[in-house]
Chain A
Amino acid sequence: MPVAPVLQLRQLAKSFGGARALRGVDFDLQAGEVHALLGENGAGKSTLIKIVTGAHQPDGGTIAVGGEPVADLTPAAAQALGIACVYQQPALFPDLSVAENIALRLERGGAFRTVGWRARRECAQDLLRRIGAAISPEAEVHSLSMPEQQLVEIACALGSGARIVIMDEPTASLTHQEQHLLFGVVRDLRKNGVGVIYISHRLEEIFALADRVTVLRDGESVGTHPVAAMDEAGLIRLMVGREVAQIYPPSEAAPGAVVLALRGVGCTASGVRDVTLDVRAGEIVGLAGLVGAGRTELARVLFGLTPADTGEILLHGQRVTLRSPQEAVALGIAYVPEDRRRHGVVLEMPIAHNMTMAVHRRLFRGAWLRFGAERSLALDYIRDLAVKCTGPDAPGGSLSGGNQQKVSLARWLATKPKVLILDEPTQGVDVGAKSEIHKIVRRLAKEGLAVLLISSDLPEVIGMSDRIGVMRGGTITAMLPGTADPHTVMAAALGQEETAG
């Protein structure tokens, strides 16, 4: 009889509002195993991790650690059970030293216990040595680089004697050499009987490191396989899986002149580099890529939020500089931001105020607000975009996600833009509103708008775009036709061009 797995999840389910993030996932982790977790953006990986670390409570399903069922897992309980997580963005205290940070995680006791400074330092020193990190325990964390901070996180996990270590994209910001160091640490953990859940978008790492791999898709597990029995093409097929099932409105594009042209555009501060791209009037250009590939960062460059420092941006063939949102708006660029609830719509403000927020200068000549004009503009857009609401005075927060998105869109359409940048326009929006938004975007393109559509939803990007730019590492690595199949797009996003096809 095999030993009980160190972690066993059965039929784990979790919903956020109406969106089902996990729909009955099974997952096993053996002691002394590196188990990779793979999936597209939004497939449910983060939710699963957050449940295992106790940050979220599942709606259904069971969790067993070392064969013992666990109910009401809290972060503290998870820690006590020997579950440790190394996040992509380390959650350390920047103004405390490395030794203090480690002590905060590892030491238990009351607030008035005495502190053994020397023991703390030695303990930290010992842990850092074990993972081969050349970091002084005295160093304050804010003076460390991101990879060094990750190593401190790993030292904490090691020191807590964790039986289960979760690593969420640990190599995202590491150099090649640091990666090797990290791989060594992971192999050491495995040798010591620790179960490691390893999340990464880099397939080569999974082949180099993992024993088994579980692929998540749309909140479901589509299978667990020994890595030795898989190849890259097979993994990509599992991740993408579904056909473009949803019906997207057909493209009626008759692309006109180039409206927006980027020539080697880069922004050191946000990691965008050497982007060359044309967007024509009436054309929808999709931007695909994984989280962190630089898509939102590119949009922010085009909207003047983090101005470009290299290359040139041309609007209607004229070279322009975009150093602030005001300049971008004046030149006819509109940006519907990703975080609708915080940045797209001011929830406390009435719909009408939200819709006119970007057009004050045009709508109200002189300083006085003309409430009549504001109301009629709002009513026009409410009718035009079919916003379901009680009226222009209803606060933005009273609307559903899809209708909030329409209000955010209306704010920008009111500026009569030439270029419309949509950042994840249908994220967290229900199916009906989603297809309405798709129809609106199609219609806008038909009316001659140049649309740049950022989306992590692969079927959406393929179904809506006339051309697809795939981003990776801050630049566009592939330009694909709108008819590209999901496998090709995913392969390009993962940087596996050679195996695509």
Chain B
Amino acid sequence: MSKQAQATAASGSARSRISSKQLRETFDAYSMLLPTILGVVIFFAIPLGISLYLSFTNARIFGDTKIVGFDNYVKALTDASFWIALRNTFVFSVFTLILSTVPALIVAILLNEKLFGRSFFRMLFFIPVVASVVGVSLLWRYLLNLDFGLINYGIKLLGFEPIPWLTRPEWGLASVILIFTWKTIGYNMVIFLAGLQGVPRQLYEAASLDGASRWKQFLNITLPLLSPTTFFVLVTTLINCLQIFDVPIALGITRSGTVGPADSMLTVVPLLYREAFLNTRMGYASAIAWILFVIIMAISFVQFRVSDRWVNYE
């Protein structure tokens, strides 16, 4: 046998060994992924497709389903409740976004300092995050009560009129913002802390050798290097806000289906729930879901595009 033929034979058998090894590995991989793939197909991909289809039909829980084109989407745009829900969702999101990130950043900066008992404080801020949303909503329902709630007792002690947090339309959404903010600050604080700990110490050392003041260091090193974290916190908080459900329902749903006095706590997902399961308009509810989905996709897309330009990576 010539040298060349030997080499070819050797590489040929090596190739078949590799390919049988690869086959084995592919088989193992797909066996490991089987439960996940089954789960995602049955409980995610198929429902996602059905949802899009339903949004173009007049589906209810039972009975005939007819395709109605874009009727549900047109209906949403002319439905007063939908606009109320959309407006409430945006007002809620804007306030919560500011109120839950700025204090979270301040607390994170303080707790990044070498203070005695800082892990204890971190724990305190995190407690509302883990507690059941429904449980804390009922707790706050009690604290915010007009006649005997602790908050209004404090307000009266300070000499002001008690606030009808849960009984007047103009305060309904404020109560939801208050509770959700209180529950989210600790979560955002932890992410900011992780970001702060990622700022390399050498940068501060170099800056102090150059004589930069503490505040200069904070403004010129800490804040810019924290921008990816800040951006992430803003976007995830916004996306969570747009999907809020538990607080308005636990705080404000009534037997007639209104959410808060005069629907003042009605946001998009509670509206969707009401249309689908109390009014059994499943086609219409699906259209509302897809409008929300498109809004969230647009935000994610902007996040993806902007994070390259606006955010300062190390």
A and B pair up: no
